Chain A
Amino acid sequence: MNALDWVTQLMEVIAALAAAPLLVGWVNCCRAWLQNRTAPSVLLPYRGIRKLFHKDAVIAEGASPLFRIAPYIVFGAMVTAAMVIPSMGTRLPFTTAADAIALVGLFATARVFLSLAAMDVGTAFGSLGARREMMVGFLAEPALLLVIFVASLISSTTSLPAIAEELATRALGVYPSLAFTAVAFMMVLLAENARIPVDNPATHLELTMIHEAMLLEYSARHLALMEWAAALKLFNYTCIGFALFIPWGTSTGDVPLALVAAIPVLGLKLLVAGAVLAVVETVSAKLRVFRAPEFLATAFMLAMLGLLVHVLLGA
């Protein structure tokens, strides 16, 4: 455990905090271009967060302390998650604290507190959003776990950086199991981050909203933290995807130069992933809420198929 590892760790956290709103801004930008609208500035999410931090918070009457601390817990969970995901280097001192399964647990913790806080004030929209969030969550979680299990089986470890290192260094080949799980992971990503086939991130005024419905009662710094945490969640999921399916270009050794080279590689991957996400969101229509289980069941089935195919064919 040397100094370079800690530098990597620090860089990853700073990059996650700084780049997460940028990723959201980039996706919004791409979506606007694809839909023939004038694109907002890429920096708009930063401005929104700064504006919110300068406002005075208004808290609903009858809100319990849980409502106040929930944003900090959710934000903290997302930052912790960012620490164990190998976005630039795989030698991270923090990974002994949490493996890939604990990572799913971190996301679940954030989800539980977000839902509890949404129900705390007792508005109709809050509890409606919380219930839907739990429905999506309990269907998406097994699919995500299966995706991770396939990667763990292939690399025989559950530590995410070790998985990324193993997958990056093994022989190139056609791996149908990984292809299936990649599609499953993409579907889970869309569902978990309130993206279009399941939820619409662009509106506060729809009866079918899920994520936005839970944030309706928040204002000022609390809302800023919640939005930042949502951006971090998208960033984290994208980086998990990179670690599992395109792990090349992350620094694996003790060479400082590789770490420097990993920065533009990560930037490039994020640019492409954001554009792909925007395309997927533009070409697909939002599903009815009660179709979401079918969508996630398909993701689960694909991940399960990947697992079975890996067991049978060893590929």
Chain B
Amino acid sequence: MTALPLDLQILNALAALLLLLSFAMLSQRRIVTLVNLLAFQGALLCAATLLLAWRTGENHLYVSALLTLTLKVVFLPWLLHRLIRRLGVYWDTEPVLNIPGTMLIALLIVVFSFGLAQPISELASTATRNAIGIAVAVILLAFLTMITRRKAMSQVVGFLSMENGLFFGAMSATYGMPMIVELGVALDVLVAMLVLGVFFFQIREQFDSLDLHHLESLKEDE
């Protein structure tokens, strides 16, 4: 086996850590820790982007690294922590599936997404094409997080983690999206977060809980 250059090795290690963090988020019941894990995932993503920018010399990747840092590592976690404090939700209730069961499904999902990404990796010409499978896995695991959680707060964290995965996928497949798309997505996420923040209060006022289970039944009797 030929030895990879050191920066690629570190990139691979960062990708593996991203995957590990997705698993950690999947098994975490405390919402505060969940948000911290999300911030950590953002930090890893920022580090990976910086390393890739330095390696390829693509300047717009520096901008997106900065964007990741301010938005996903500092601002959104801060916002989420504030919301948690004001809403007083610290624990998710028992998830829909028990934790070991979720883990097993998650492992199957990882195998599936590695298989799914195989043909894409062969088409891509970037040095980081092996990591596409990991990006797909992170996206699908974030999906699973959203499916297995009941509280609105943890579902939002899952949503943001999915965005991290998408970003990482774009980065490893084509060295990042065009700047205008990236800015648009960042703005979208920001606005979505702000709107959802308002929604949380509305949901709680209506149902006295943040359990989205209540939203599933239509109101018949007024």
Whether A171 sits at the interface, judged by CB under 8 Å, is yes
Chain B, residues 88-112, CB within 8 Å of chain A (1/0): the string is 0000000000011001001100110
Of the candidates B10, B19, B27, B99, which one forms a contact with A305 in the assembled complex, judged by CB atoms under 8 Å apart? B19
Taking a contact as CB atoms closer than 8 A, the residue among B9, B130, B133 that contacts A174 in the complex is B9
Beyond A305-B19, A315-B4, A315-B9, whether A294 also contacts B99 by CB under 8 A is yes
Chain B residues within an 8 Å CB radius of A313: 12, 15-16, 130-131, 134
Contact of A176 with B17 at beta-carbon distance under 8 Å, contacts A308-B114, A311-B114, A312-B130 already known:
yes
Which chain B residue lies CB-closest to A304? B107
Check: A293 CB closer than 8 A to any chain B CB. Answer: yes
- For chain A residues 131-162, which have a beta carbon within 8 Å of chain B? none
Instruction: Please state if A314 and B130 are interface contacts (CB–CB under 8 Å).
Output: yes
| CB-defined contacts of B12 to chain A, threshold 8 Å | 174, 176, 313, 315
The verdict on B1 contacting chain A, using a C-beta distance below 8 Å, is yes
Q: Mark contacts of A156-181 with chain B using CB atoms, 8 A cut-off: 1 yes-contact digit, 0 otherwise.
A: 00000000000000010110110110
Complex interface bits, A289-315 against B, C-beta within 8 A gives 1, otherwise 0: 000011001100110110011011111
Partner of B16, one of A171, A176, A298, A301: A176
Binary interface profile of A, 178-210, with partner B (CB < 8 Å = 1, else 0)?
011000000000000000000000000000000
Name the distance in Å between A132's Cβ and chain B's nearest Cβ: 18
B181 adjacent to chain A (CB < 8 Å): no
In the complex, chain B residues 4-51 whose Cβ is within 8 Å of any chain A Cβ: 4, 6, 9-10, 12-13, 15-17, 19-20, 23, 27
A residues less than 8 Å from B1 (CB atoms): 314
B76 to chain A, nearest CB (A): 26
Cross-chain contact of A309 among B6, B16, B100, B106 (Cβ < 8 A): B16
- Given contacts A171-B3, A301-B23, whether A312 and B114 have CB atoms under 8 Å apart is yes
A-side interface size class: 20 to 34
Cβ–Cβ < 8 Å partners of B103 in chain A? 297-298, 301
- A173 near B3: Cβ-Cβ < 8 Å: yes
> Which of B4, B107, B130 contacts A301, CB < 8 Å?
B107
- B98's nearest neighbour on chain A, judged by CB, is A294
Quick check: A174 and B10 within 8 Å, CB to CB?
yes
Task: Name B's interface SS.
Answer: helix
CB < 8 Å neighbour of B6 from A173, A305, A312, A314: A173
Name the residue in B1, B10, B20, B106 with the highest tally of chain A Cβ atoms < 10 Å from its Cβ. B20
**Using a CB-CB cutoff of 8 Å, which residues 53-71 of chain B contact chain A?**
none
Cα distance A171–B114 in the bound complex, in angstroms:
26
Give A115 to B102 CA distance when docked, in angstroms: 32
Q: Is the CB of A308 within 8 A of B6?
A: no
B contact residues around A174 at 8 Å (CB): 6, 9-10, 12-13
The residue in B13, B111, B130 that gathers the most chain A C-beta atoms within 10 A of its C-beta is B13
Contact A180 B20 (CB under 8 A): yes
Cα distance, A180 to B160, chains bound together (Å): 25
CA distance A315 to B130 in the complex (A): 11
Cα distance, A177 to B13, chains bound together (Å): 9
Contact with B along A264-298 (1 / 0, CB 8 A): 00000000000000000000000000000110011
A311 to B110, CA, bound (A): 12
Residue of B at shortest CB range from A139?
Answer: B100
A179, A308, A311 — most chain B CB neighbours (10 Å): A308
- Cβ-defined partner of B4 (8 Å) among A173, A294, A298, A308: A173
Chain B residues near A315: list those with CB within 8 A: 4, 9, 12-13
**Which residues of the other chain, B, contact A177 by a CB distance below 8 angstroms?**
16
What is the interface of chain B, defined by CB distance below 8 A to chain A?
1, 3-4, 6, 9-10, 12-13, 15-17, 19-20, 23, 27, 99-100, 103, 106-107, 110-111, 114, 130-131, 133-134
A-B contact pairs, 27 of them (CB 8 A): A174-B10, A174-B13, A176-B12, A176-B17, A177-B16, A179-B13, A179-B16, A180-B16, A180-B20, A293-B100, A294-B99, A297-B99, A297-B100, A297-B103, A301-B106, A301-B107, A302-B20, A304-B107, A305-B20, A308-B107, A308-B111, A308-B114, A312-B130, A312-B133, A313-B15, A314-B1, A315-B9
